[in-house]
Structure 1
Amino acid sequence: MTLRHEAISVFDMFKIGVGPSSSHTLGPWKAALQFLESLTVKDLLQQVQNIEVLLYGSLAKTGIGHGTDIAVQLGLCGEDPVTFDVDNITAKMNDIRNMKKILLHGRHEIEFDPQEDIEFLITESLPFHPNALSFLVTLHNGYTFAETYYSVGGGFVIKEGFSPDEKNETVLPFPINTAEDLLHWCIRTGMNVSEVVMENENAWRPESATKQGILQIWNVMKECMYRGCHTQGNLPGGLFVKRRGFNLNKKLLLDRSYNDYDGWIAAIRQGGNNFKYILDWVSCFALAVNEENASFGRVVTAPTNGAAGVIPAVLQYYILFCDGNTEDKIIRFLLTASEVGCIFKKGATISAAMGGCQAEIGVSSAMAAAALTECMGGTQKQTLMAAEIAMEHHLGLTCDPIAGLVQIPCIERNTMGAIKAITASQLALQSTPDYAKVSLDAVIKTMWDTALDMNSKYKETSDGGLAINIPISLSEC
């Protein structure tokens, strides 16, 4: 499935939400919110007697590990994933489970037993997309109806029978579906990638609002990184994976003291800039974000939750070790990254359930590589070349999470994606793109062809790969 002709904003690609998965947690949460809106528009909310939720395909097979059932319940309660206090998730779930009641949209209480009313249909899959869920409703008058939604990756949700083209009729000054389109506009206008993207963003809102929103995205990213580097213990879910960001952060800082994020940054800079030191910090940043993600923490899809650590880690590297610590440079970085992600979404997929992990870590690495290259002074062609290099060396990467949890191998893969992004950028900056044999559009097509050929057991189902070859006994999953 290829979703083309969408006008996609930077704020569609970078969404603030809750972990551990944009397609399995944030998407179903948003689907439940959309369903509530549908009930409200039809003036049926107060008439609902009971609701049953059906999870299909990948959502069913790895839904427990990804917290899909939790996300759906929070959505049905009308909670906002951007603002909901993640520390209250457990208490909220306990209340619903113990009382066997749910307060729809915070206004209408009905009987609801998660054990009975959320069904994981692991042997059934709907043809449009593996990540499907249906809401079946019975009203007080006995009337029944259902709506089906698809979580297509990165927190994007499509209602069955509803075309994404109907949702967004915004006419952009520089319409872009492919890397060739983007390069065309750059050459024609003389603008770099981020400038073209900003002109498109101006079709939605004032430039000042876009800049403010992007800085808020970065603020959530850096808070997540900081929190992850200062939280210890085991990750939830039953694998008892030990957090590593905390100990690595402590080891690298050598007891240097600080009280907040700015002090932390200053303390890191005091350690110098030798290669091993920088490499360890990039890994630490990526680990920290995805350990938070695995713990139902607040993260930013970049372009997904499972790959949320790559772009923050590379941006933090740019800020700390490449003189990138200004608001304008941070905005430029994230604008460039977002457009590369949009091109991958339109030409292939950003859903691991459709394309394996190449669609998540691979895409995030390409996004980060392009962003870093532009910010380091690369040409438009070098920027796109960096994205191509990063994805070329993620082609075929499978998604095989152990126990359906976004932990092994997902967390470490973010460190690999970040390092590959930096390497791809360096290669592009030292290369002449006119001599390149592979274009970004060619590698995107190849990624999609590979996704179509990939066995479904390697597409976020936990039916193959590491998920079946690691003999781990789970006590909670």
Structure 2
Amino acid sequence: MESVKSIFKIGFGPSSSHTMGPGNAAKIFNERNPDAHSFQVELYGSLAATGKGHMTDVAIEAMLAPKNVEIIWKPEIELPFHPNGMILHALSANKETLDSWIIYSIGGGDLADEDTKIQRKPLYSMTTMTQILSWCQKTGKTFWEYVLDVEGPEIFDYMSHVWEVMKAAVLKGLDEEGVLPGGLGLQRKASMYYVKSKGYQGSMKSRAQLFAYALAMSETNASGGEVVTAPTCGSCGVLPAVLYHLHTSHHDFSDKKIIRALITAGLIGAIVKNNASVSGAEVGCQGEIGVACAMAAAAGAQLFGGSTAQIEYAAEMGLEHHLGLTCDPIGGLVQVPCIERNAFAAVRALDSCSYAMLSDGKHIVSFDKVVRTMKETGHDLPSLYKETSHGGLAKYIDED
């Protein structure tokens, strides 16, 4: 299992798998082919089906500029390793191929191919919640302390930067108004929700603020702003909304406690990423919003003083109750239903946290079993419902 840092990538939206990943691939390929006269990029499967809405071509062209780039879209063909496949070609002045690279954007901004797992050295020897939970109970330590033991104190510096970027993105989203780019005519709502929250009291005020923070982060992402994957761009609003709400509300948790909770959330995401997937193109939105909800629920439970068993239970509920969630973005944009899902998942994360805190942490379905179920469910979902925009809401809205 890789570093928890891999869950939190800082970059520009709207999509980690369709914008960040392809952009990074183009940058790497450009650097290894400095003598290329031009480039040709073939996009396959989900990467091609929703690439226009996700600004895949814009990200690739930016990283290969100022050289000419020809992009070929092949949505009807999937390469064998992952639905988000691409082939990059470096060309000479007379169009001869100098170099080619088959690579996949596997979710959360990561790139991989068939040989990646063989080449990468795992950082963590324990890769399941069962193993880590047992270690915590034996040592008396909690999840963030386990990460600290493995990755060292420098993890705090990285997470501190992550937290600052998250806060900046939320504040930016709260300040913006108008229509989001992309052609759907979707109005930004974060600013309005935040203003209205000031007129409420009690639980309604708290709920309205939580909605506003999740919308703010998601709208910043949808407009191509700087965000943090958590675990993806499409689900980047859930965890920051919960943490920002707990940081600024009457709970007033310190930055230090928030960063520790971020580390725990990263561990939850890393476990899922290692044993299943956080890619909407591979397992549907359950791997994005579902995992984000699990991460936020675990972070919340830790902040409220939960035991390791209660934290695990909160994470389990956050993921379990998103099982089967499809990914059917209208117009291939990370807007509808994605933005609203971030807001509702943030509320569900705190509900999962509260439910777990009322319990003794004992429950029937373990987090590892839910992760395994999510992976199998995702593979059983037809490709129509895995970020292709060919089914579900995307299909019926297009009929209008």
Give the Cα separation in 2 of the matches to 1:168 and 1:324. Answer: 39
**Matched AA of 1:20:** P
Alignment partner, residue 87 of structure 1:
none
Alignment partner, residue 442 of structure 1:
369
Give the Cα separation in 1 of the matches to 2:239 and 2:227. Answer: 12
Spell out, residue by residue over 1:83-133, the C-alpha distance to the aligned partner (whole angstroms, 9 max, x if none): xxxxxxxxxxxxxxxxxxx32xxxxxx3x15xxx01111111101000011
**1:64 lines up with 2:9 in the alignment:** no
Give the SS at the match of 1:150.
strand
Alignment partner, residue 77 of structure 2:
124
**1:179 lines up with 2:129 in the alignment:** yes
Give the Cα separation in 1 of the matches to 2:183 and 2:399. Answer: 10
Give the Cα separation in 2 of the matches to 1:212 and 1:195. Answer: 15
Give the SS at the match of 1:152.
strand
Give the SS at the match of 1:339.
helix
| Paired residues of 1:239 and 1:472 also in contact (CA < 8 A) | no
Q: Could you say which structure has the larger radius of gyration?
A: 1
Give the Cα separation in 2 of the matches to 1:242 and 1:327. Answer: 32
Alignment partner, residue 360 of structure 2:
432
Spell out, residue by residue over 1:373-418, the C-alpha distance to the aligned partner (whole angstroms, 9 max, x if none): 1121111011111011111110000000000000000000001110
Give the SS at the match of 1:53.
strand
Alignment partner, residue 184 of structure 2:
239
Spell out, residue by residue over 1:41-82, the C-alpha distance to the aligned partner (whole angstroms, 9 max, x if none): xxxx12x12210111000100000001011112222xxxxxx
| Paired residues of 2:198 and 2:205 also in contact (CA < 8 A) | no
Seen in structure 2, the aligned counterparts of structure 1 residues 370 and 313 have a Cα distance that, compared at 3 Å, is same
Give the Cα separation in 2 of the matches to 1:352 and 1:157. Answer: 15
**Matched AA of 2:337:** P
Spell out, residue by residue over 1:265-303, the C-alpha distance to the aligned partner (whole angstroms, 9 max, x if none): xxxxxx76x111000111110011111111001100000
CA RMSD of aligned residues (A): 1.6
| Paired residues of 2:298 and 2:312 also in contact (CA < 8 A) | yes
Q: CA deviation at 1:322?
A: 5.6
Q: CA deviation at 1:324?
A: 4.3
Give the SS at the match of 2:53.
helix
| Paired residues of 2:81 and 2:114 also in contact (CA < 8 A) | no
**Matched AA of 1:431:** S
Spell out, residue by residue over 1:296-326, the C-alpha distance to the aligned partner (whole angstroms, 9 max, x if none): 0110000000000000011012212363431
Alignment partner, residue 259 of structure 1:
none
| Paired residues of 1:370 and 1:387 also in contact (CA < 8 A) | yes
Following TM superposition, where does structure 1 have runs of at least 4 consecutive aligned residues deviating by more than 2 angstroms? 36-39, 139-145, 167-170, 250-254, 320-325
Q: CA deviation at 1:31?
A: 1.0
Alignment partner, residue 195 of structure 1:
145
Structure 2: gaps (5+ residues)? none
| Paired residues of 2:281 and 2:388 also in contact (CA < 8 A) | yes
Q: CA deviation at 1:167?
A: 3.1
Give the SS at the match of 2:105.
strand
Seen in structure 2, the aligned counterparts of structure 1 residues 17 and 377 have a Cα distance that, compared at 3 Å, is same
Alignment partner, residue 223 of structure 2:
295
Q: How many residues align?
A: 399
Q: CA deviation at 1:433?
A: 2.5
Give the Cα separation in 1 of the matches to 2:132 and 2:19. Answer: 32
Give the Cα separation in 2 of the matches to 1:470 and 1:453. Answer: 24
Q: CA deviation at 1:143?
A: 4.7
Q: CA deviation at 1:233?
A: 0.4
| Paired residues of 2:50 and 2:389 also in contact (CA < 8 A) | yes
Spell out, residue by residue over 1:438-467, the C-alpha distance to the aligned partner (whole angstroms, 9 max, x if none): 110111111111011111100000011100
Give the SS at the match of 2:52.
helix
Give the Cα separation in 2 of the matches to 1:143 and 1:230. Answer: 48
| Paired residues of 1:183 and 1:381 also in contact (CA < 8 A) | yes
Structure 1: gaps (5+ residues)? 1-5, 40-44, 77-101, 104-109, 255-270
**1:145 lines up with 2:139 in the alignment:** no
TM-score by length of 1: 0.81
Seen in structure 2, the aligned counterparts of structure 1 residues 433 and 252 have a Cα distance that, compared at 3 Å, is closer
Give the SS at the match of 1:470.
helix
**Matched AA of 2:189:** R
Give the Cα separation in 1 of the matches to 2:130 and 2:374. Answer: 17
**Partner residue of 1:223 out of 140, 154, 168:** 168
Seen in structure 2, the aligned counterparts of structure 1 residues 362 and 305 have a Cα distance that, compared at 3 Å, is same
Give the Cα separation in 1 of the matches to 2:97 and 2:265. Answer: 47
Seen in structure 2, the aligned counterparts of structure 1 residues 429 and 253 have a Cα distance that, compared at 3 Å, is same
**Matched AA of 1:139:** S
Structure 2 counterparts to residues 151-166 of structure 1, below 5 A: 151-158=105-112, 160-166=113-119
**Matched AA of 1:214:** M
**1:366 lines up with 2:260 in the alignment:** no
Q: CA deviation at 1:140?
A: 4.6
Q: CA deviation at 1:193?
A: 0.7
